[in-house]
Amino acid sequence: KNQVEQSPQSLIILEGKNCTLQCNYTVSPFSNLRWYKQDTGRGPVSLTIMTFSENTKSNGRYTATLDADTKQSSLHITASQLSDSASYICVVNTNAGKSTFGDGTTLTVKP
Amino acid sequence: NAGVMQNPRHLVRRRGQEARLRCSPMKGHSHVYWYRQLPEEGLKFMVYLQKENIIDESGMPKERFSAEFPKEGPSILRIQQVVRGDSAAYFCASLTGGRNNEQFFGPGTRLTVL
């Protein structure tokens, strides 16, 4: 059964600090992995996409990594801002276009 | 996600009534996904449609729920005889097709069943 597990479930950090969110998956056949940011009351917005051959990709203060051998991904947020408070969702897609969503990590950035 | 429109944004129904949720995809997108998000939980896949075709409805409850994406007009998610457990946020996402393509999400419809 395809599964995506994210950790931690929730995280509280102070503004300006860094943090790393984890995503482990058992999805096959793997096509790509996306990290989404979902602000409260809104739909998710894509941050990064990782394909099989990519190990790391950055989007501003967000850096995603992928280890396809261990089936793990991480999302690192640098110099956090209050506006980073949101739910971060890891989504793994198969070649057939089927998406498996993680339950998300709720990040709270405090001043 | 500004291009995907969902309406209504909030919908209140009494038990036993019907709920109709609409999703207008981004221009040029012919694929639509519907997801349900219960409070404090992640998004769960319901159904994947192309124009006039249901491609994958494996996540949709077999009773009371139906979805369509007609040749013209928005995609509709219909819930008949709603129950309190149907209270959730329902998101649609559209894409042009292709396995690496990004899904663009709408703002969601928050359904409350009294």
Which pLDDT score is estimated for A98? 78
Q: Does A43 touch chain B (CB under 8 A)?
A: yes
- DSSP secondary structure code for residue A61 in this structure: T
Note the pLDDT tens digit of each residue in A64-78: 999 999 999 999 999
Nearest to A89 among B42, B45, B100 (CB): B42
Note the pLDDT tens digit of each residue in B40-56: 788 998 999 998 899 88
> Is B103 within 8 Å of A99 when comparing Cβ atoms?
yes
Q: Does A10 touch chain B (CB under 8 A)?
A: no
How buried is B101 (Cβ within 10 angstroms: 0-12 exposed, 13-18 middle, 19+ buried)?
Answer: middle
List the structure tokens of B48. Answer: 């994947």
- Please list the ranges in chain B whose pLDDT falls under 70: 1-2, 97-100
Q: What is the distance between the terminal CA atoms of chain B, rounded to a whole angstrom?
A: 30
With a CB-CB cutoff of 8 Å, which residues 72-101 of chain A face chain B?
89, 93-101
> Is B56 within 8 Å of A42 when comparing Cβ atoms?
no
- In a 13 Å sphere around the CA of A21, the CA atoms on its Cβ side amount to 31
User: Cβ(B87)–Cβ(B109) under 8 Å?
Assistant: no
Note the pLDDT tens digit of each residue in A56-107: 999 999 999 999 999 999 999 999 999 999 999 999 988 777 788 999 999 9
Note the pLDDT tens digit of each residue in A7-28: 999 999 999 999 999 999 998 8
Q: Does A102 touch chain B (CB under 8 A)?
A: yes
Note the pLDDT tens digit of each residue in A26-44: 988 888 999 999 998 889 9
> Is A43 within 8 Å of B41 when comparing Cβ atoms?
no
> Is B45 within 8 Å of A98 when comparing Cβ atoms?
yes
Which pLDDT score is estimated for A1? 81
Which pLDDT score is estimated for B1? 46
Rg (CA), chain B: 13
Which of A35, A38, A110 shows the shortest CA–CA distance to A75?
A35
Q: Is B86 helix (H, G, I), strand (E, B) or coil?
A: helix
| Amino acid at the residue A109 | V
Q: Is A84 helix (H, G, I), strand (E, B) or coil?
A: helix
List the structure tokens of B101. Answer: 């393509």
Give, in order, the Cα–Cα distances in Å from A44 to each of A35, A61, B2, B60, B78: 9, 18, 11, 21, 22
How buried is B56 (Cβ within 10 angstroms: 0-12 exposed, 13-18 middle, 19+ buried)?
Answer: middle
Which pLDDT score is estimated for B16? 97
Phi, psi of B84 (to 5 degrees): -60, -30
Q: What are B's interface residues with A at a Cβ cutoff of 8 A? A: 1, 4, 33, 35, 41-45, 48, 56, 91, 93, 99-100, 102-103, 105-108
